[in-house]
Structure 1
Amino acid sequence: MLFTVGVEYPKNDNEAYGMIVPALFNEQYSCFSAADSVELIPEMVKDAITTILADMLESGFDVMSIQDNGFIEYQKVVDFDHIDTWLLIDVDVSEYMGKKQRINISLPSYLINRIDTKVGASGGRYRDRSHFLAVASQHELSASS
Structure 2
Amino acid sequence: MFFTLGIETPTDGNTAYGIVVPALCNDKYGCYSAADKESDIPAMATEAILLTIQDMIESGDYDIKSIHNDHISYKSNDEYAHCDTWVIIDVDLSTFTGKQKRINITLPDILINRIDNAVKAPNSFYKDRSNFLAEAAINELSLHK
TM-score (norm 1): 0.72
Could you list the per-position Cα deviations for residues 14-61 of structure 1 after superposition, in whole angstroms to 9, with x for gaps in the alignment?
100000000001111010000010110000000000000111111112
Match of 1:120 in 2: none
Are 2:80 and 1:80 aligned? Answer: yes
The answer for the alignment partner of 1:138 in structure 2 is: 134
Q: Whole-Å Cα distance in 2 between the matches of residues 8 and 106 of structure 1?
A: 45
TM-score by length of 2: 0.72
Change (3 A) 1:101 1:88: closer
Retained in 1: the 8 A contact 2:18–2:35? yes
Partner of 1:117: none
Note closer, same or farther for the CA distance 1:106–1:138 as it changes in structure 2 (3 Å cut): closer
Q: Please give the alpha-carbon distance, in whole angstroms, between the structure 2 residues aligned to 1:29 and 1:15.
A: 24
Q: Quick one: structure 1 residues 101 and 19, their matched pair in 2 at CA, closer, same or farther if it must change by over 3 Å?
A: closer
Structure 1 spans left out of the alignment, 5+ residues: 112-125, 127-131
1:90-117 per-residue CA deviation (whole Å, 9 max, x = no partner) reads: 00112222x5596864459xx9xxxxxx
Whole-angstrom CA distance in 1 between matches of 2:100 and 2:138: 20
Q: Does 1:14 align with 2:14?
A: yes
Q: Is 2:98 the counterpart of 1:95?
A: no
Corresponding residue pairs, total: 122
Residue identity over aligned pairs, in percent, reads 39
Structure 1 residues 1-145: aligned runs within 5 Å: 1-60=1-60, 61-70=62-71, 72-97=72-97, 99-100=98-99, 105-107=104-106, 133=130, 135-141=131-137
| Residues 88 and 104 (structure 1), Cα distance of their counterparts in 2 relative to 1, 3 Å cut | closer
What do you get for the CA RMSD once the two structures are aligned? 2.9
- Gaps (5+ residues) in structure 2? 113-126
